[in-house]
Amino acid sequence: MPEAIDRALGQITFDADGLVPAIAQQHDTGEVLMVAWMNREAIAITLAEGNACYWSRSRGRLWRKGETSGQVQRLVELRLDCDGDTVLLLVEQTGVACPTGRRNFFFRAWRDDGWVEIAAPLVATETLYGKGAA
Amino acid sequence: MPEAIDRALGQITFDADGLVPAIAQQHDTGEVLMVAWMNREAIAITLAEGNACYWSRSRGRLWRKGETSGQVQRLVELRLDCDGDTVLLLVEQTGVACPTGRRNFFFRAWRDDGWVEIAAPLVATETLYGKGAA
């Protein structure tokens, strides 16, 4: 690992599972696309390759965003918060971030009496992942 | 607790500690202000009172944002992600979000050879918290 990246990682406080929350934000519009998790290796890969790589807690492995769907996130800037325990990725999102085919994950908003969907899918899940995809 | 709020909470998946990550975003500019944590009670209070209330992991208690500094966050909209395990608060931030006196928590950006500060404090910590504040 390049020394500079190793030094960058040294200033991040990972939790007991070796993870930090990572927010992906579209760099020019400010849209919050998603929140995922990163470990040391995911951050190192993201810095080295220039595309967002997360740690999938459900699959227990590294997850290069868009590896199946092609909906990659090019890293524009990586930021660290004051406590050093959360990172913010400014990215250029290709297509849609959400596996449901919506642009971002936060498509439910609370109204007076329940959650309402405020965004429709822009692309079918089958188009993103092929037939039989979850 | 009002039935509607109780129903809203029922669709959120809290982690083993009863928490979800909560992103606070300035509603009009899109600026990501901070990430904190919320439990059921913090979300219920936020919906009922209209100002952001978090769960402080370091202090082990509810934390009405701005209770000491006056830098409150008025809730404009609460959103939930597709997995139901992260919430996004669109807020109107009074003053500055960060205890360091900066507008947001993410004032360090990664450059080729290290983290650099990209924002200066807008207000002194002493002004926010009084003398002797950390």
Render pLDDT for B96-121 as a digit per residue (tens, 0 to 9).
Answer: 999 999 999 999 999 988 899 999 99
Task: Tell me if B115 and A80 make a contact (CB, 8 A cut-off).
Answer: yes
Q: Is the Cβ–Cβ distance between A34 and B82 less than 8 Å?
A: no
Tell how far CA B112 is from the center of its chain.
Answer: 30
Give residue A132's pLDDT.
55
- Whole-structure pTM value: 0.94
Q: How far apart are the C-alpha atoms of B79 and B63, rounded to whole Å?
A: 20
Convert the pLDDT of each residue in B54-83 to its tens digit. 999 999 999 999 999 999 999 999 999 999
Q: Is the Cβ–Cβ distance between B55 and B62 less than 8 Å?
A: yes
Give residue A133's pLDDT.
46
Convert the pLDDT of each residue in A83-121 to its tens digit. 999 999 999 999 999 999 999 999 999 998 889 999 999
Task: Tell me if B30 and A35 make a contact (CB, 8 A cut-off).
Answer: no
Q: Which two tokens stand for residue B8?
A: 């809203």
Q: CA of B5 to nearest chain A CA: how many angstroms apart?
A: 8
**Higher confidence at residue B23 or residue B8?**
B23
> Where do runs of H (alpha helix) occur along B11-69?
40-49
Q: Which residue of B has its CA nearest to A35?
A: B86
Q: Which two tokens stand for residue A27?
A: 């760099």
A105 contact B CB<8A: yes
Give residue B84's pLDDT.
96
Q: Which two tokens stand for residue A114?
A: 């329940």
A29 contact B CB<8A: yes
